[in-house]
């Protein structure tokens, strides 16, 4: 009588087996002698390492270099009298980010779920308690509020007018030029020489500019390499393979020297612009390969179906192939953006005061001599945060665009 009767079937999931802590440890840590040895070795080595790290951080480490130079880390030698402009820029970015969040989340039942609220609370607590941000917490807290309010507003608006998303893309596009204006001045604002651009602001600015430039270029190169036209294909392939065989630092450094040589006598583009160009030209070659992989993954039937519907080549690419190819390539493309963001650190080698460059100049200050570990750990946390946020965003976009069943 062990055979299952039809009425005993149930579509509900089986109950999850929950293990007690001891049983869990036995299963996951001490299942056999090899695992037990591994566990003991890992716990002793990494435990002692962690203990030493924590005790170093709490006793020996002198964290003064970070709060005392927080302005430098964020904006470099940007004149402090003009900080309101940076704050305005931050407010614009926060507002747009909040609106985008609201618009993207218009179909979610509650925008402020428990985990989001906890996240916001953690951010607020961090702003109030973390010594470097404490002096400006009165300005940072409203920014958090702005994000939340904008998100709520964006959600309401997006529910009434579903087309608002395109407007938002336009706003993001325009905000780039507003940022350029707010940082660089001109048009009624005091000019700030690019020598005074620095810190996190410069890192983000070069990264965003590089990404914005390298994406269209990489797309064109990928299409060129996949093209049926031999000359276009050879040129694209040659460019991609040549650039991929050269270290970025060589391109950057020589770009600083060679770009002026390639231009008519006397014209000398700004060095930040030169760095951005080198960064974009370099990343475009890698991006092209990622996009090409996406293009190759689109079945040929899609091309043929489009052709049989009477679409010409540009229309086939724009409406049929590229949307599918880019969707497939998103993880790789974002990965390339992340590495472009990391590559901005190389600008410190050519003498720009982005985050790492500012770190170096602070460490050159006799007051903070030898505070390498503190400063570099702080920078590592900042870079980690942004890179991790990007990969998280890529995963979200992937989920959103996923039409598989």
Over the window 260 to 289, marking each residue x when it contacts another protein by CB under 8 A and - when it does not, the resulting string is xxxxxx------------------------
Structure tokens at 234: 């050879």
Stretch that binds another protein, among 13-21, 111-119, 178-186, 254-262 (CB under 8 A): 254-262
Percentages helix, strand, coil for the chain (3-state, rounded to 5) are: 80, 0, 20
**Closer to another protein by Cβ: residue 51 or 384:** 384
**Site residues for another protein, window 144-173 (CB under 8 A)?**
none
**Which helix H or strand E contains 76, and what residues bound it?**
none
Degrees to nearest 5, angle at CA 222 with 220 and 227: 90
Maximum Cα interatomic distance, the chain, rounded to a whole number of Å: 95
Long-range contacts of 265-270 (CB under 8 A, 24+ apart): 270/194
Contact criterion met (CB below 8 Å) for 293 and 329: yes
- The minimum distance between CB 380 and another protein, in angstroms, equals 5
Structure tokens at 333: 């493309």
CA dist., res. 353 & res. 103, Å (int): 36
Residue 339's φ and ψ, nearest 5 degrees, are -70, -30
Report in angstroms the alpha-carbon separations of 185 from 72, 87, 321.
19, 14, 42
Phi-psi region for residue 351, left (φ > 0), alpha (ψ -120 to 50) or beta?
A: left
CA dist., res. 125 & res. 254, Å (int): 46
Please report, for the chain, how many H helices and E strands are present, in that order. 17, 0
- The minimum distance between CB 134 and another protein, in angstroms, equals 25
Q: Which of 380, 395, 396, 401 binds another protein (CB under 8 A)?
A: 380
If we measure between CA atoms, which residue out of 301, 300, 303, 298 comes closest to residue 316?
A: 303
**Closer to another protein by Cβ: residue 132 or 260:** 260
CA dist., res. 327 & res. 293, Å (int): 11
- The minimum distance between CB 345 and another protein, in angstroms, equals 4
Q: How many CB atoms lie within 10 A of CB 56?
A: 12
**Closer to another protein by Cβ: residue 197 or 239:** 239
**Closer to another protein by Cβ: residue 17 or 265:** 265
Contact criterion met (CB below 8 Å) for 225 and 102: no
Q: Which of 372, 393, 395, 396 binds another protein (CB under 8 A)?
A: 372
**Closer to another protein by Cβ: residue 155 or 292:** 292
Stretch that binds another protein, among 42-50, 79-87, 128-136, 142-150 (CB under 8 A): 42-50
**Closer to another protein by Cβ: residue 99 or 347:** 347
**Site residues for another protein, window 308-337 (CB under 8 A)?**
312-313
Q: Does 373 bind another protein (CB under 8 A)?
A: yes
Stretch that binds another protein, among 130-138, 143-151, 170-178, 246-254 (CB under 8 A): 246-254
**Closer to another protein by Cβ: residue 22 or 261:** 261
- Residue with structure tokens 């909040």? 98
Over the window 8 to 37, marking each residue x when it contacts another protein by CB under 8 A and - when it does not, the resulting string is --------------------xx-x---x--
- The minimum distance between CB 232 and another protein, in angstroms, equals 5
**Site residues for another protein, window 192-231 (CB under 8 A)?**
228-231
Which residues here bind another protein, judged by CB under 8 A?
A: 28-29, 31, 35, 38-39, 42-43, 46, 228-232, 235, 242, 244-250, 253-254, 257-258, 260-265, 312-313, 338, 342-343, 345-346, 348-349, 356, 360, 363, 372-373, 376-377, 379-380, 383-384, 387-388, 391
């Amino acid at each position: 009588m062990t055979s299952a009767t039809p009425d005993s079937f149930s579509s509900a999931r089986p109950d999850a087996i929950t293990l007690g802590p001891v049983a869990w440890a036995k299963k996951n840590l001490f299942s056999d002698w090899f695992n037990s040895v591994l566990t003991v070795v890992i716990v002793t080595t990494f435990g002692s390492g962690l203990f030493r790290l924590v005790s170093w951080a709490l006793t020996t480490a002198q964290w003064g270099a970070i709060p005392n130079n927080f302005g430098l880390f964020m904006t470099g030698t940007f004149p402090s009298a003009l900080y309101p402009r940076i704050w305005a820029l931050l407010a614009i970015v926060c507002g747009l980010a909040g609106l985008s969040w609201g618009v993207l989340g218009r179909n979610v039942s509650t925008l402020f779920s428990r985990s989001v609220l906890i996240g916001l609370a953690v951010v607020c607590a961090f702003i109030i308690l973390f010594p470097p941000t404490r002096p400006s917490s009165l300005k940072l807290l409203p920014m958090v509020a702005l994000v939340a309010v904008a998100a709520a507003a964006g959600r309401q608006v997006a529910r009434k007018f579903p087309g608002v998303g395109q407007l938002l893309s336009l706003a993001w596009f325009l905000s780039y030029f507003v940022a350029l204006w707010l940082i660089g001045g001109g048009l009624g604002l005091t000019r700030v020489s690019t020598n005074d651009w620095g810190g996190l602001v410069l890192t983000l600015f070069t990264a965003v500019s590089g990404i914005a430039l390298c994406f269209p270029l990489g797309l064109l190169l990928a299409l060129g390499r996949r093209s049926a036209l031999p000359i276009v294909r050879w040129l694209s392939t040659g460019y991609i393979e040549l650039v991929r065989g050269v270290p970025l630092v060589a391109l950057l450094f020589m770009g600083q020297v060679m770009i002026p040589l390639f231009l008519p006598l006397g014209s000398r583009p700004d060095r930040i612009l030169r760095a951005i160009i080198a960064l974009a030209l370099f990343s475009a070659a890698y991006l092209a390969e990622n996009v090409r992989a996406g293009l190759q993954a689109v079945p040929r039937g899609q091309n043929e179906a489009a052709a049989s519907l009477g679409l010409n080549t540009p229309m086939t690419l724009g409406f049929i192939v590229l949307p599918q190819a880019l969707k497939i390539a998103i993880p790789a493309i974002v990965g390339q953006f992340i590495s472009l963001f990391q590559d901005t650190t190389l600008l410190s080698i050519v003498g720009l005061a982005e985050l790492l460059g500012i770190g170096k100049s602070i460490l050159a200050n006799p007051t903070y001599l030898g505070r390498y570990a503190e400063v570099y750990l702080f920078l590592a946390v900042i870079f980690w945060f942004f890179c991790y946020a990007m990969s998280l965003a890529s995963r979200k976009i992937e989920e959103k665009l996923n039409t598989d069943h």
